[in-house]
Amino acid sequence: MTWLEGQGRESRPPGERLAALMDGPDILQVPGAHNPLAGLLAKRAGFQALYVSGGALTASLALPDLGVMTLEELCFFVRAISRATDLPLIVDGDTGYGEVINVMRTVRELEAAGAAAVQIEDQMLPKKCGHLSDKRLIPPEDMAAKVQAARRARSHLRIIARTDAAADGLEGAIARGRLYLEAGADIVFPEALECEDDFRAFARAVDAPLLANMTEFGRTPHFTARQFQDFGFRIVIWPASSLRVAARAVEDLYAHIKAEGGTEGMVGRMQTREQLYEVIDYHAYEALDAGIAKSVLPKAGE
C-alpha cells in the first residue's frame, strides 16, 4: 500500500503512539534519520520510532548546528520523513525557535507536519551542540515558561525538556530537570552526562521518563541500550549516526572516482537498483500509474 493511496496508515496521533511505545517493557531505541530514505531503512531494520536531529539536518544542508536552520526547513524534513515511514518522530526543536509565543507556533507546526514529540533545550542563541564547551543557558524560569507554552499549544505532541546544565555540575541539571517536569514536560533529557554514576544519579533524582543521547565523538562514553535501561532511562537516541556513516561512504566514493576514473571498484559497497526499488516500493507506485492513470482509447469511429 503506497502513501498516495491514503490507506493502511496509523490513525492514532503520533504522540499517543510514542507514549504507547514508551510503556513497553524495554527501553525505546530511536536512531536518527537525516532524510526519508534513511528513515525507511531504519523502519525495515525493525525500529519503531525515529529521531530527527537538528545537528544532522543542518549538516546535510552544509550549515553549522548554531540555530541557523529555519522552522520551515525543519518542518519540510519532518513532513517528508513522516510521509515515508509513518513512524512516530522525536523532533529536535532546538530552543523552540524563539520565546514562548514562538514555541507555541513551533509546536503547532510540528504537529501538523507529523511529529510525535518535540525536544526543546535551555540554551541561549546561538545554541551549540550539547557536547561542546562554552554553552550559555537561559534562566531556568524562562525555560519552564517555554515548557508551559509548549504544553498549552499541543494536542498530542509529547514535550521533551532538554537541559544542558550538566556542563556546570550535575546538581544544577537535576534542579532544572525537576523544574521542567513541574512545568509540564512529559520527558526530561539531561544532555552530555559523562559517566555511569551521573546517569544513575540523575535517574534517582528526577522521577520522569528520561531520554539519553548516545552520540559519537562527544562527552558521553559508549553505552548500550541495555545499559541505559539499567541506569533508569526509557529512551535512547543515536541522533547523527546515519549522517556520519553516509557522509564517510560518499567521501570514499568521490575519492575512488577521482583516483580511478570510475566506480567499478565501489559497486560492491552500493545498494543495488533492485534493492533501492524494493525499499521505496517503486513497483507499487508504478502499478498505480498503470491501473489508475491508464489511458482510455477512443472508440472506433469517434
pLDDT band at 301 (very low <50, low <70, confident <90, very high): very low
Q: How are strands ordered across the β-sheet holding 28-31?
A: 28-31, 235-238, 211-213
Per residue in 265-287, pLDDT (tens digit) is 999 999 999 999 999 998 888 88
Which whole number is the average pLDDT over 94-115? Answer: 97
* DSSP H stretches of helix in 95-205: 100-113, 140-153, 170-183, 196-205
Which CATH superfamily hosts domain 12-240?
Phosphoenolpyruvate-binding domains (3.20.20.60)
pTM score of the predicted model: 0.93
Task: Inform me whether the pLDDT recorded for 31 exceeds 50.
Answer: yes
pLDDT band at 67 (very low <50, low <70, confident <90, very high): confident
pLDDT attached to residue 83? 96
Task: Inform me whether the pLDDT recorded for 300 exceeds 80.
Answer: no
pLDDT attached to residue 128? 66
Which whole number is the average pLDDT over 159-166? Answer: 96
DSSP state of 272: P
Task: Inform me whether the pLDDT recorded for 295 exceeds 60.
Answer: no
Per-position b or e across 94-113, b if 16+ CB within 10 A of its CB: bbbbeebeebbebbebbbeb
Task: Inform me whether the pLDDT recorded for 23 exceeds 60.
Answer: yes
Q: What is the DSSP string of 191-252?
A: TT--SHHHHHHHHHH--S-BEEE--TTSSSPP--HHHHHHHT-SEEEE-SHHHHHHHHHHHH
Domain boundaries, the chain: 12-240, 248-291
Lowest mean pLDDT among 5-14, 163-172, 213-222: 5-14
Distance of CA 264 to the CA centre of its chain: 35
Spatial separation of the C-alpha atoms in residues 107 and 112, rounded to whole Å: 9
C-alpha cell at position 17: 503512539
Spatial separation of the C-alpha atoms in residues 209 and 235, rounded to whole Å: 8
Paired strand residues for 90:
51, 117
